[in-house]
A = this chain, B = another copy of it.
Amino acid sequence: MDIREIARRAKVSTATVSRAINRVPTVDPQLAKRVWKVVDELGYYPNTQARALVLGRSRIFGLIVSEITNPFFPEIVQTFEDLAVKNNYEILLTSTVHDPKRMESSVRRMIERRVDGVAILTFGMEESLIEHLRDRKVPLVFVDVGPNIPGIANIRINYLNGIRQAVQHLAALRHTRIAFIAGPQRLKSAGARRDAFEASMKEIGLSPDLIVVGDHRMEGGMNALLELNKLSDSPTAVLCSNDMTAIGVLREAYDQNIKIPEDLSVVGFDNIHLAEFTIPPLTTVQMSQHDLAKIAFNALLQEVEDGSSSPERHNYELVTGLVLRRSTALARSRRSAATPTPNRVAKSRKTPAPQ
């Protein structure tokens, strides 16, 4: 169904229909009413791609995340979505699952669909891809230390702040053997967290040598704790590069019958909603997903609406801070050296579902 169809039935021209629909004030109220009547009767919806074609604006924002199944991201996506509906935008979501090929196809898809802007929340993206976007003048916003390409909005995250609080919190609880479970090495954001950890440790005269790398997922957290416990002088506290890792640690500790927080203090990072519901509830570094999404969206919106990308708008900073819950406690004066008895049950109980 056409705008022409509407025009025919309302006995006006397509121009008038278009004007009526877009509420151009110069159109006679009588005519407008006639047009709207037909529109409603026929259940006509304008074709956005035709409109986009002539307007040169698609009203679509791209959102590239690294892994939608990591609960960190859905919270961002939801806020982004909320803002999108409010502003009459769509969001084109891609999840790169850390795969370079997928990153490439993400970027390609964004360009082919002629999105009006892209928010990049995946961290290991090749610079060449980003330049590809920049060359087409697609407004871009980066979260975190993106490659330092001039003219691209960056939301810097102040990791140090929150991580320093976490480390000092642990130190105040008399922990000295504090381990860090890092994220995937190629991720800049993971690197930044790790750097913040090292800096914070050194600040208070502790050596940040207990570092093992995970994968920002629960599985990695489990393995990391396993590894940490093999050490002769295993830590009394672990700081994790993200909450999912911490959840894995909690889980592995349960298997090993290590009591949290009595035997081991655990701190996460991100403060995803879930962190309030772990057992025990997770002390973690907060970084507001909501604010993050909001800043990203508005940065894009401004750039496309104003056209201008004033340089002072190009740097945003997101603060982080510690939120205390129940996964941290005073370090034991002397931690028992005996290997804790595992209560891991036989594998055979993990019956796969019939299918």
Residues of A at the B interface (CB closer than 8 Å) are 43, 45-50, 52-53, 58, 67-69, 71, 73-75, 77-78, 81, 85, 90-95, 97, 102, 105, 108-109, 111-114, 132, 135-136, 162, 218, 247-248, 250-251, 254, 271, 273-274, 277-281, 286, 288, 291, 319-326, 345, 349-355
Contact = CB atoms under 8 A, between A and B. Distances in A.
A261 to B, nearest CB: 11
Nearest to A63: B93
Contacts of A324: 349-351
23 contacts: A45-B111, A47-B53, A48-B114, A49-B49, A49-B52, A49-B53, A49-B58, A49-B113, A49-B114, A68-B81, A71-B74, A78-B95, A78-B97, A81-B95, A218-B274, A254-B279, A274-B274, A279-B279, A286-B353, A288-B353, A319-B354, A326-B345, A326-B349
Contacts of A350: 323-325
Contact of A74 (B74, B254, B286, B352): B74
B71 A78 contact: no
So how many copies of this chain end up in the complex? Answer: 2
A183 to B, nearest CB: 18
B90 A91 contact: no
A218 B277 contact: yes
A162 B345 CA distance: 23
Contacts of A162: 353
Contacts of A218: 274, 277
A78 B69 contact: yes
A164 to B, nearest CB: 12
Contacts of A43: 132, 135-136
Looking at A46, A274, A320, the one whose CB has the most chain B CB atoms below 10 A away is: A274
A43 to B, nearest CB: 7
A247 B277 contact: yes
B114 A288 contact: no
A136 to B, nearest CB: 8
A50 B53 contact: yes
Given A74-B68, A277-B248, A112 B254 contact: no
Contacts of A325: 349-350
Contacts of A102: 85
Contacts of A77: 68, 93, 95
A321 B69 contact: no
Given A43-B132, A113-B90, A350-B324, A78 B85 contact: no
Contacts of A50: 49, 53
